[in-house]
Amino acid sequence: MKSLEEREEVIELETDPYVLNIGPHHPSTHGVFRMRVLFDGEVAVDVEPMLGYLHRGIEKLAETRTYTQAIPLTDRLDYLASMTNNVAYCMTAEKLAGIKVPERAEYIRVILSELMRVSSHIMALGFLMNDLGSLFTPLFYAAREREKLLDLFEMVSGQRLLYNYMRIGGVSQDVPERFVKKAQQFVDEFPGYLDEIDNLLTENEVFRMRAEGVGALSAEDAINYSCSGPVLRACGVNRDIRRDDPYSIYDRFDFDVVTGENGDVYDRYRVRLEEIRQSVRIVKQALRDLPGGEVQTKHAHFLRPPVGEAFSRIEAPKGELGFYLVSDNSIAPYRFHVRPPTLLNLSPLRDMIVGWKLADAILILGSIDIVLGEIDR
Amino acid sequence: MTVDLRVQDIAQQIGERFPGAIEEASADSMVVKGEFIPSVGQFLKDTPRLDFDYLNCLVGTDYSDYIEVVYILESYKHNHRLVLKARAYDRDNPTLPSVVGLWRGADFQEREVYDLLGVTFAGHPNLKRIFLWEGFEGYPLRRDYL
Amino acid sequence: MEIALFSMDEINRQLAEADRWETAEIGALMDIAQEPIPDDLDWLNEEPRNKIIGWGQGKSTWGVNFGLACCAFEMMSSAFSRFDQSRFGMEIMRPSPRQADFMIIAGTVTWKMAPKVRRIYEAMAEPKWVVAMGACACSGGTFTSSYAVVPGVNRILPVDVYVPGCPPRPEALINGFIQMREKIRLAKQK
């Protein structure tokens, strides 16, 4: 029997291209997201994302509600980190109406936004491990930590998931005293639990083999496709809105901006892990400096901003979340638009998936960390 | 801090390069005639002191006489921002040229404006409805829908 | 033996045809879904059927988790270790409908997604039950007056248990499961 190298003619099998519909009801698509992938053998050749299965018409609905009634609608956008959506919308409305926020409310907003970032990133890591195949064990570790955070949020606003806590001009009510104590206890104990997850996963050989080099995106492509957030920072671009265009009181805090090198799945994982540590650092500083005072600037019950438009953005956990509001001096906004970070992070999906196999395609989609409520609005 | 550039200076530069392109220039934004958008965009992207390489947001709004599309451009190198607007006056078939060749992040956002407002972007590689299904009649975000 | 090879033109033609077929399906469903399907209330007046079967079927149900939006995260929270739902028998929540007893619709159903929900329901084997979780699945919720949202999933499926809330707490969802178990024990043979 001759070996494969010794034979003179090799028979090449011609394969048909076939279309696989990774459909809207799927355990690993993080929501109702549909992709049609054209495969040649097992290698992906073309990808067509199809969106819109959760399009609820939030932008049209907000035109029929007053400015304050639109705040619960913004909760339902990125439902894993709802308070950051509220903060972004309230900042835009305050810019439009010219309202200033008191100091204590600013500190409370920063503390809660950073805790939301911790909650969102740790769930993103848990679901990424789910996509890799280590079914549910890292996800249960992450969920255990998130339950402690949800207790803190319930203490503040009464709800576990969709809070409706921020108002135009501040926050709706003051934080109770035991919140500060419990938050201090959380930030003291949490780095220990994070190290536990870190030791299990970061240097894990199976994870590194599957994730390094997969789905790499170059820095120029990422900027051209308007990516933002951890996806952009993992490509090596040093850009964070909290430092480059500081809003609220972020210029008083001391934190590092974490970047990666190659823009592959492993770098996005590392950037998210390190960002959790930086967020805990910011929360410690804010809890130490929390001043007293009132928590909401009073304004008219039906807010009527002057005619004009405003655009402002924040660094949400998924990327750069912006709101564009146009007002015509009536009680409802004339135009309400969300600039969704995850929709634009999905633009390079085709460039990232082409050339990789089916299992890698699912992993790349999981590493972008999409939330369908924000993409489809 | 991201600086908003003085619109009057940029408007003057563009007015010299492309005569007749600017419709009006106010304190915070600049309205450019529809057919000049790709060439003005190319100029803003390539000029060394401007370097607008990042398209932040592309929004469409329906005012009763025209449909206005707002382009918010930013530059990473110099950390500044500029707001461009273009208006499509024809209500029955509004058309504007596409900027996907310059900034590929405009791909999904232009499809969204087409889907919800009805503006056709000439030169877009794949202009289909993105959020609503193919047979949906009407454009929901227009003021006269329902 | 002839093997038919597909060219790219043939594939593109079939993809365009699939898109048109999706539109027709959505239109057909919108036409028949104008009124809500009435709830089945005769189970309250019936004699309980074979006690062993009813008891056994209720105690270990396997579900299809159809998590669409925000409520999906409270459903997952009820499956995680704090509000453990597997102590009530709901150990397995797999996405496959062929091996399932009941289906939880957690989240907003849009008209674009409605034919897929209907298709998963039809792929389940009898006997089957449906739980509508969250305000959006019960009646449309916050988004009732929107142009693209089905106002309540009982327009397209017969619903057995409604769990209100936005989102309902995991304890409320487990209460819904216990009510469903009661209904399974007493329901007539389907």
The shortest C-alpha distance from A51 to chain B (Å) reads 6
B134 contacts C23? CB cut-off 8 A = yes
Residue range B3-95 forms a domain whose CATH class is: alpha beta
Residue C124 belongs to a domain with what CATH number?
3.40.50.12280
Q: What pLDDT sits at residue A261?
A: 87
Supply the pLDDT for residue C164: 92
- Is B134 part of the contact surface with chain C (CB cutoff 8 Å)? yes
Assigned domain for C31 exists: no
Cross-sheet strand order for the sheet of A319-327: A308-316, A319-327, A335-339
Q: What is the pLDDT of residue C188?
A: 57
Q: Which of B78-87, C55-64, C131-140 has the lowest mean pLDDT?
A: C55-64
Q: What is the pLDDT of residue C145?
A: 87
**How far does the CA of residue C133 sit from the closest CA of chain B (Å)?**
24
Model confidence pLDDT, tens digit, residues C88-113: 888 778 888 888 888 999 989 999 88
Q: Where are the strands (E) in C54-182, listed by range?
A: 63-67, 93-94, 102-106, 129-133, 161-163
Distance (Å, whole) CA C188 – CA C190: 6
Residue A4, domain member (yes or no): no
Stretch 326-365 of chain A: residues touching chain C, C-beta under 8 Å: none
Give the pLDDT confidence of A227-269 residue by residue, as tens digits. 999 999 999 888 888 888 888 888 889 888 988 888 889 999 9
Contacts 24+ apart (CB under 8 A), A147-150: A147/C77, A147/C80, A147/C82, A148/A186, A148/A190, A149/A115, A149/A118, A149/A119, A149/A186, A150/A119
Please state, for a pLDDT cut of 70, what percent of chain C lies above it.
89
Closest to A293 (Cα-Cα) out of A156, A175, A164, A182:
A175
- Cβ pair A319, A326 in contact under 8 A: no
Q: How far is C112 from chain A (nearest CA, A)?
A: 6
Q: Which residues of B touch C27 (CB under 8 A)?
A: 135
Residue to mutate among C82, C85, C86, C104, with most A CBs inside 10 A, is C82
Sole residue written with tokens 């036409």: C31
pLDDT digits (tens, 9 = 90+) for A291-327: 888 888 888 888 888 998 899 999 999 999 999 999 9
The closest CB to that of C23, out of B133, B145, B146, belongs to B133
* Residue B33 in tokens: 């005639």
Per-residue confidence (pLDDT) for residue B69, from 0 to 100: 92
Q: Is A143 on the interface with C (CB under 8 A)?
A: yes
Residues of C within 8 A of A53 (CB-CB) are: 110, 112-113, 116
Between CA C39 and CA C91 the distance in angstroms is 28
The count of CB pairs under 8 A between chains A and C is 97
Distance from CA of A225 to the nearest CA of B (A): 4
What is the pLDDT confidence band of residue C2, given thresholds at 50, 70 and 90? very low
**Do A109 and A85 form a contact (C-beta atoms < 8 A)?**
no
> Is it the case that residue C189 has pLDDT exceeding 60?
no
Contact B135/C147, CB-based, under 8 Å?
no
**Cross-chain Cβ contact C73/A372 below 8 Å:** no
More confident residue, C155 or C187: C155
Number of domains forming the structure of chain C: 1
Q: What is the dihedral of CA A344, B92, C26, C156, to 10 degrees?
A: 90
**Chain A: partners with 3+ C-beta pairs within 8 Å:** B, C
Residue-wise pLDDT tens digits, A354-373: 889 888 888 998 898 888 88
* 3-class secondary-structure state, position C102: strand
User: Which residues in chain A are closer than 8 Å to C69, comparing Cβ atoms?
Assistant: 31, 54, 76, 79, 372-373
What pLDDT shows up at residue A8?
58
Calpha distance B134→C111 (Å, rounded): 12
Measured between beta carbons, the chain C residues lying within 8 angstroms of A73 are 142
Condensed to tens digits (0 to 9), the pLDDT of residues B82-94 reads 888 998 888 888 8
pLDDT in tens, A157-172: 988 989 889 999 889 8
| pLDDT band, very low/low/confident/very high, at A273 (cuts 50, 70, 90) | very high
Number of domains within chain A: 1
How high is the pLDDT of residue A11?
Answer: 62
- How far, in Å, CA of A307 to CA of A363, rounded? 46
- Report how far apart the first and last C-alpha atoms of chain C are (Å, whole number): 48
Q: In sequence order, what are the residues at sequence separation of 6 or more whose Cβ sits closer than 8 angstroms to the Cβ of residue A337?
A: A59, A323, A324, A325, B57, B59
Question: What is the residue range of A327's domain?
Answer: 17-376
Looking at residue A118, its pLDDT comes to 93
Taking residues A186-210, report their average pLDDT.
89
Structural domain containing residue C125: 59-186
* Inter-chain CB proximity A54 and C108 less than 8 Å: yes
Q: Is residue A7 part of a domain?
A: no
Report the C-alpha gap between C138 and C156 in whole angstroms: 12
Position of tokens 């048909």?
A: A16
